[in-house]
Structure formats: C-alpha cells, structure tokens
Amino acid sequence: MTPTFAHLMASFLMAFAPAEPGKPHPAPWRAASGGFGFDITVEVCIPEDFDTKESFDRINIAWWFVALLRLRAAHTVICPVLSDTPFASAAHCDHEPKFMPMEIDPNRLQLAIKPSILLEGDLNWIREHWRPAGSLMRSSKAFSTLFQACDQSLFTRNPSLALLLLWGGLETIFSPARSELRFRISANMAAYLEPPSDRRVSLQRQIAKLYDARSAAAHTTTSDEPEALQRTYALVKSILCRIIEDDHVPTRDDLNNRLLGGE
C-alpha cells in the first residue's frame, strides 16, 4: 500500500440520436445535472507475475484485499477503479493506461458506525490471514456465502434487504434444521462466541431479538431496522473474524459439542 492521488469522475451527458454499431452516439451532446466522483488516496500493487494458481485471479485479489479491510477496520473503504499503471505516472506515461471501474455505486448503505482509523495492527492481521482465509473461501461454500453476504450488505441500499442478506449468510453455518430456528440459531452463535456463562445466556437472548428483527424485515412488519442492522452487522463481523483466526469453519458437530459442553 502506498499513498497516491487520483480522482475518478463520472458526469452525465445526453445524446439525441441513435448510435451506429461500434460507434458513440453522434453529437450534439448536452450536459445533465448530477454525477459522482471518488478521490483515490491509496493504491495497492498486485504484480503481473503474481501466482494465482492457489489464490484468486488478480482482479479478485484486489477485491479480496479491500473486502478484508472493510471487515477488519474500515467498512467505508472501496476500490473504485483498477489500473494497469501506477496513478502517479498515469497522467504522463508513454502508453495509454487502462482503467476499469469497479466499486462505483455512490448510493451505499449508511450504517450508524463511525469510520475506523486503519491501524498497523489491522494491516498485520490481514497480512497474516489473507491467504488462509482465501483458502477457506474456496473450500467452504458456507464461509464464502457468509463473507460475501457481509461484504455485499454494505452495497445494498435497502436496510431490510441488507438484514435479510446477513441472516441468509448466518443461516448457512448456524441453521441446524427447519424447526426451532430462532432458538437453535441464536444458541449456536452464542455457544460459538462465548464459553458457558451468564454472558453466553445474555448473548443468546440478544441474538434471538436480532432474529426477530430479521423475521420482521422478511414479512414487512415494523422493526427497528437501523439498530438491528447495525448490531447484526457487528455480530457477523465477530463471527467471520473468529472463523478466519481459527482457520476453521464450525461444523454442526462442532456447534452441538459447544452447545452441550462437549469437547
């Protein structure tokens, strides 16, 4: 990661005649109000000879690194554009640089969470875990679903849909059966995060209330969406970080043993 500066901008234009195949719409063009832009202040270099045999391809490596930044510390960080040339030299290089917009939706979900300061410890955490966690993404469909649900919830404009997305991801790991979902899912999560104690009992009750909010969102009844969404997102982050640090996705046997006090 190195400091840099670039600005990706998108302005809206109107054309008034159809385009011929392979050509732009003919003039005249007129400006429309609106548009959006992004300041780019940090760049990450992925070498062209990076070995992708046991990892993601280079484009998805960029997403994976930024998604881990969002998970660990800074949920507002995005990767608006990919470039084949360092931004510092792109303006005056001899070749024509190639830019590919990536995460450019300006209408993202607004969580009532203060943006975090990215610390050295966060980067060290990513450096330690990004490869093993990437292996979990490829080997465990349940982990991949939960991780992507967490990350994509930030790009979902509707809070109810974001809440359902998060709970859909949680249920891939913590849902034992179709019966008694509310209790078993909340009990499994509490047992995963806390040892037998009053804290586990309290956490189970809190998670059960969050599941009620999920059900309310699913059935379009009234729910306290902002608070429930914020707390559910924090719950998912805790579970994902625990899985990544353990380098293990809990199985149903694991969860049953923890729930019942087994080894």
pLDDT tens by residue, 211-260: 888 877 776 555 557 888 889 999 999 999 999 999 999 998 898 888 77
Which residues are bridge partners to 43 per DSSP?
Answer: 2
- Residues 96-148 have pLDDT tens digits of 999 999 999 866 777 767 767 888 999 999 999 999 999 999 999 999 999 99
Element (H, E) at 229: helix 225-246
Helix (H, G, I), strand (E, B) or coil at 247: coil
Q: What pLDDT score was predicted for residue 235?
A: 94
Question: For the residues 16-34, what does the mean pLDDT come to?
Answer: 92
pLDDT for the residue numbered 258? 83
Residue 6, helix vs strand vs coil: strand
Question: Quick one: pLDDT at residue 115?
Answer: 65
CA separation for the pair 119, 121 (Å, rounded): 5
Euclidean distance between CA atoms 71 and 78, whole angstroms: 12
Segments in 73-197 forming alpha helices (H): 87-90, 120-139, 141-153, 159-174, 181-193
Question: DSSP states of 172-206 as a string?
Answer: HHH---STTHHHHHHHHHHHHHS-SSHHHHHHHHH
**Quick check: 87 and 6 in contact, CB under 8 A?**
yes
What is the C-alpha separation between 65 and 62, in angstroms, rounded? 5
Task: Tally Cβ neighbours within 10 Å of residue 113.
Answer: 11
Per-domain residue ranges for the chain?
Answer: 1-11+32-139, 141-263
The distance in angstroms from the start CA to the end CA of the chain is 42
- What whole-number distance in Å separates Cα of residue 169 and Cα of residue 146? 4
Tell me what pLDDT residue 48 has: 85
Q: How far apart are CA 198 and CA 80, in angstroms?
A: 45
- The mean pLDDT value of the chain amounts to 88
Q: Which range (25-29, 199-203, 223-227, 236-240) has the least confidence?
A: 223-227
Strand partners of residue 42: 3
Concatenated DSSP letters of 21-48: TTSPPPSPEEE-S--EEEEEEEE----T
pLDDT, tens only, 56-93? 888 899 999 999 999 998 888 999 999 999 999 999 99
